[in-house]
Structure formats: structure tokens, C-alpha cells
């Protein structure tokens, strides 16, 4: 896992440079916040809520809180598995699969055919070939999800 320090500038009484490093320790994540006004780092636990929201313990200001969340988000993106879409049936991440024109995605034949019969799929893909088809997503701009600590998170 990558373990890089990120630098942010925030306003306290004057503009201060803070550096934030995210570490994993005993299955928990912590943000270490260093600023150029103090010698010691502030340590705050970071976690992911069940709904995918990133959280951290209270820090000295809303601006610093936002910086910690941004650093944690970057850490997750660097260390997680990126996926373009989420399967409508099984909710797993996917980088290839079926698109149905109404916004449905299916990662495998098995997931697709739990919802649509082979005949229904053949009819949809023939009649609406521009809306219902199989594809692969490959570019960074396509990725909307990250699998991190067995949670699929929207990014």
C-alpha cells in the first residue's frame, strides 16, 4: 500500500501548511496531521460508514476536517481496486459487462439472466443495439467506484 504524505494549506490565525499522512494500524486507519506551528502530529481515526461516507474524528477546524477526508479519499483511491460500474443484480464492481439502456448493468451472463431471459436479452440487443450491449470500460474517467476493505465506495 502506498503511504504518501499530502500537503494542504489552511487558515488558522495565519495561513498554515499542514501535512497529512494516512496509516493503517491494526485494521484501523489513522490520519496524522502535522502543521508547521507544532512539533507533534495530531492523530485522528478515519473510517468508512456503511453507506460509503468517509468519516474522521473531530479535528481543530472544519477546514482541517475537509483536508483529512480528502487525504483519506486519496489513500482509498490509491490502494483500492477501481471499477467503472456496479452490477444491478449482485452489487459487485465491474469493468466489463452488459448495459441495458434504462441504466441497468450486469457483470455476468448469470446476473443478466436472473433478470432477463435469453430470449428477452436477444430481443433487446437486436432491437436496441445502441442501448443494450456488452462492453468494457478501460479509461480512468470511466471509474466511479473503488473496492476498499471489502466495501464498494462511490468516488
* DSSP string for residues in 59-88: -S-HHHHHHHHHHHHHHHHHHSEEESEE-T
The three state secondary structure string of 100-116 is ECCCEEECCHHHHHHHC
SS3 state of residue 54: strand
Give the residue from 40, 57, 79 where a domain finishes. Answer: 79
Same domain for 75 and 87, yes or no, is no
For 49-76, what is the mean pLDDT? 91
- Single residue among 32, 59, 79 that ends a domain in this structure: 79
| Structural domain containing residue 107 | 82-154
- Domain shared by 53 and 106, yes or no: no
- Please say which residue of 79, 105, 133 terminates a domain: 79
Given a cut of 80, whether residue 120 has pLDDT beyond it is yes
Does residue 89 sit in the same domain as residue 150? yes
Distance between CA atoms of 100 and 86, rounded to whole angstroms?
A: 13
Pairwise CA distance, residues 42 & 63, whole Å: 15
Tally of domains within the chain: 2
Q: What is the pLDDT of residues 68-113, one digit of tens each?
A: 999 999 999 999 999 999 999 999 999 999 999 879 999 999 999 9
- Whether residue 3 has pLDDT greater than 60: no
DSSP label at residue 142? G
**Is the pLDDT assigned to residue 127 strictly greater than 90?**
no
Global pTM?
0.77
Amino acid at each position: 500500500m502506498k503511504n504518501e504524505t499530502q500537503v494542504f494549506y489552511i487558515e488558522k490565525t495565519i495561513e498554515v501548511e499542514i501535512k497529512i499522512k494516512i496509516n493503517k494500524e491494526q485494521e484501523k486507519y489513522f490520519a496524522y496531521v502535522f502543521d508547521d506551528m507544532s512539533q507533534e502530529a495530531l492523530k485522528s481515526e478515519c473510517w468508512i460508514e456503511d453507506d460509503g461516507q468517509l468519516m474522521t474524528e473531530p479535528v481543530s477546524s472544519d477546514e482541517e476536517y475537509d483536508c483529512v477526508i480528502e487525504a483519506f479519499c486519496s489513500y482509498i483511491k490509491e490502494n483500492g481496486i477501481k471499477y467503472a460500474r456496479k452490477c444491478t443484480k449482485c452489487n459487485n464492481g465491474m469493468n466489463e459487462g452488459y448495459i441495458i439502456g434504462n441504466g441497468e448493468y450486469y457483470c455476468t451472463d448469470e446476473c443478466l439472466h436472473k433478470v432477463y431471459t435469453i430470449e428477452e436479452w436477444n430481443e433487446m440487443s437486436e432491437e436496441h443495439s445502441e442501448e443494450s450491449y456488452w462492453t468494457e470500460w478501460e479509461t480512468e474517467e470511466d471509474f466511479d467506484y473503488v473496492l476498499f476493505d471489502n466495501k464498494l465506495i462511490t468516488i
